[in-house]
Amino acid sequence: MSTMQVEVVSNEENIYSGEASFVVVPTLEGELGIYPRHEPIMSLVRPGALRLRVPDQKEEILVAVSGGVLEVQPDKITLLADVAVRSEEMDLQRAEEAKKVAESNIHDAKDDATLAKAHIALAAAIAQLKTLDYLRNRK
């Protein structure tokens, strides 16, 4: 089986580093499916579920990403995510509450810095909700 090296890094931590046989990334142009030996590309990432198919694992690895930059090389994928959260660390009620708070903060923002932070928080909450929705629909 052919594999590629995958690195997923957020502002806070290294989320995943290892091999994958297939990766699905939510990009601004739509979901991008990547197999080993893919043509080199760069793309912006939108909020959604990053899916990794790892050799010898039955279940996909799911990571909610809120945005960032994707670089694809024939033998390596690097995703620099603004915010990334592993699926096992997500909670539906927390994500819904975070979305409400972020939307309220956007509405009440008094300056650009506060508004930018609220938009980042909203993107992170949306990414988690999309990932949780994918998990719910998959079962």
End-to-end, the C-alpha distance of the chain in Å comes to 26
My answer on whether 119 and 133 are in the same domain is yes
Domain total of the chain: 2
- pLDDT by position in tens, the chain (length 139): 599 999 999 888 899 999 999 999 999 999 999 999 999 999 999 988 999 999 989 889 999 898 899 999 999 999 999 888 887 777 788 888 888 888 988 888 889 888 888 888 888 888 888 888 877 777 5
My answer on whether 56 and 76 are in the same domain is yes
My answer on whether 101 and 74 are in the same domain is no
The strand pair at 68-73 and 76-81 is best described as: antiparallel
Of 107, 111, 126, the closest CA to residue 48 belongs to: 126
Domain that holds residue 71: 4-86
List the CATH number of the domain containing 41: 2.60.15.10
My answer on whether 8 and 52 are in the same domain is yes
My answer on whether 38 and 76 are in the same domain is yes
DSSP string, 15-59: EEEEEESEEEEEETTEEEEE-TTPPPEEEEE-SEEEEEE-TT-SS
As given in the structure block, the two tokens for residue 107 are 């509405």
Residue at a domain's end among 86, 108, 130: 86
The strand pair at 14-20 and 41-45 is best described as: unpaired
My answer on whether 17 and 62 are in the same domain is yes
My answer on whether 13 and 81 are in the same domain is yes
Per-residue pLDDT, 139: 58
As given in the structure block, the two tokens for residue 26 are 């939510």
CA distances from 131 to 48, 53, 59, 136 (A): 6, 15, 14, 9
My answer on whether 75 and 101 are in the same domain is no
Per-residue pLDDT, 1: 57
